[in-house]
Amino acid sequence: MSEPIRVLHFADAHIGLENYGAIDSETGLSSRALDFLARLDDIIEYARESDVDLVIFAGDAFRSRSPNPTFQREFAGRIRQLSQLAPTVLLAGNHDLPLNAAKASTVDIFQTLDVPGVWVAADYEARRIETTRGAVVVAAAPFPIRSRLLADADLRGKTIAERDDALKGALHKRLRALRCRADELAADSTPRLLTGHFSVAGAIWGSERRVMLGRDVVVELEALADSRWDYVALGHIHRHQNLTADREDAPPVVYSGSPERIDFGEEKEVKGFCWVELARGGTTWRFVELAARKLLTLTVDCRAIENPTGAALAEMKRHDLKDAVVRLVIKLSSESETLLNDGTIVNELKRAGVFHIAGISKDIDRRARSRLGVSPEGMTPMQLLARYFEGRGVEAERREELLQLAREIVEGE
C-alpha cells in the first residue's frame, strides 16, 4: 500500500483586514494586517517542516475583491513559497470572485503568469495531480456566483426563494458532475479530494456573516458526504468544524476555519489549519492550532461599587493582557459613572502591554424616568418632585422622607 499523501488544508486568509490595530512604523502596514500575514508564515513553516505533498487553499485570499498592491504582493510571495514546496490549489471564494464574469478574480494573476505548481481553481473542474507520494484527484467547487451558474436559466417572474432554489439545484448538479469526473480520473487506489467554498447545512456560523460579500446559498450535507471522496476541504465559514464527525459512512467534511481571529465574535474560537494524511478509504487528519492574536473582553459590574476605577483595575490584574486586543465593558449606575477615571484605566492597560485597546464601553444603568403626563404644567411642585424622585429610582421609604422635608420647607416659607 502506498504512503498517504500529506495535504495541508487552510482557508479564509482575509489579507487586508485591519481592525484593532495601528500602523507599523517599519512596514507601513497595519499591525493587524501583519497578524494575518504572520499566520500564513506559520503555515508555510509547518508545511516545510512536515514535508507537505499538496496544499489546498479553500478560498478568500483577501478582505475585498479589490485588494491594494501591497497586500497582493505579500500574499503572492507566500503562495510562491508554498508552491515551491508542493502543488498548490487556490480555490476562488466569494471575496476573490468579481460579480462581473468578464472581470478578473483576485487570484487570476497566478494563472496569467503561469506560476509553476499553482492551480487557480475558479471553475467547477477536477484534475489529477501528481505529488511526491503519488497521484491524487482534486475536484474544485468555487463560490457559486448566480450570474454564472444560472446564465441559461429563465428566472423572469421568480421570487427570491425560487431563485435561491434554482441556484442550489444548479450547484448540486455541478457537484454530481464532479463526482463522476473524479471516477473517470482516478484509478481504484487513487485518493480523491473535493474542495469547496460555500455554506453547508448544519454548519455553525461565526463572524464571517459580518464580512460576507454577496448573498449565500446553503448546500445540503449529503451532496458532499459521499464515499467517493476521501476528504472534503471547505472554506467560507470561519469556525473550524467537522460536519461528519459522528459518521462512519462518510468522508471527513471539514471547515479548516480561518487562521486568524477576525473580530470579537471569534474571541473564544481556536484558529488554525488541517493536516491531512490522504489515502483511498483510509484518510486521517488533525487540526493544528495557530497562535492567533488573543481578543479579550473584560466585564466589570460597578453599579453598586463606590470605587469603580479600583474595581476595573482589580479585574484587569486577574488576566494576562500582554499582546492582547482588549475591550473593557464597565457596568455603572448614574452615580458611579462620575467616579470612574478613564485615564487611569487606559494607562494601566498600556502598562500591562496590551496590543490594542479596542474600547472602554460604559454600560450605564439609567432607570427610565416616569412620564410626567400629558400636561406637567398642571402638576403641583410636590407632584413634580415626587415624579422626579421616582424617575431617579429613589426607594419609596426614602422618597417619602425627602418629600416630607420638602413640604416642611415649602410650608415654612
pLDDT higher than 80, residue 191: yes
Give the model confidence (pLDDT) of 299-327 as tens digits: 999 988 889 999 999 999 999 999 999 99
Please give the Cα distance from 227 to 220 (Å, whole number): 15
| Residue 350 in grid coordinates | 498600556
**67 and 106 Cβ atoms separated by less than 8 Å:** yes
Q: Quick one: CA dihedral 39, 40, 41, 47, positive or negative?
A: positive
User: CA 410, CA 413: separation in Å to the nearest integer?
Assistant: 5
Amino acid at 61: A
Cell numbers of 202, please?
A: 448544519
Residue with grid cell 473582553, as numbered in its chain: 297
> pLDDT per residue over 243-289, tens digit each?
999 898 999 999 999 999 999 989 999 999 999 999 999 999 999 99
Q: Which residue has the higher pLDDT, 306 or 193?
A: 193
Q: Sorting pLDDT into bands at 50, 70 and 90, what band is 176? A: very high
SS3 165: helix
Distance CA 325, CA 17 (A): 15
Query: For residue 220, what pLDDT band results from cuts at 50, 70 and 90?
Result: very high
pLDDT of 377 = 57
Q: Quick one: which of 273, 222, 216 has its CA closest to 93? A: 216
Kindly indicate the confidence band of residue 370, based on its pLDDT and cuts at 50, 70 and 90: very low
97-147 residue pLDDT tens: 776 666 777 888 888 888 899 999 989 999 999 999 999 999 999 998 776
Cell 488533525 belongs to 286
**Integer Cα distance of 48 and 70 in angstroms:** 25
Question: Does the pLDDT value for residue 201 go beyond 50?
Answer: yes
pTM for the model stands at 0.82
Of the chain, the percentage scoring pLDDT greater than 70 comes to: 87
Q: What integer best gives the mean pLDDT of the chain?
A: 87
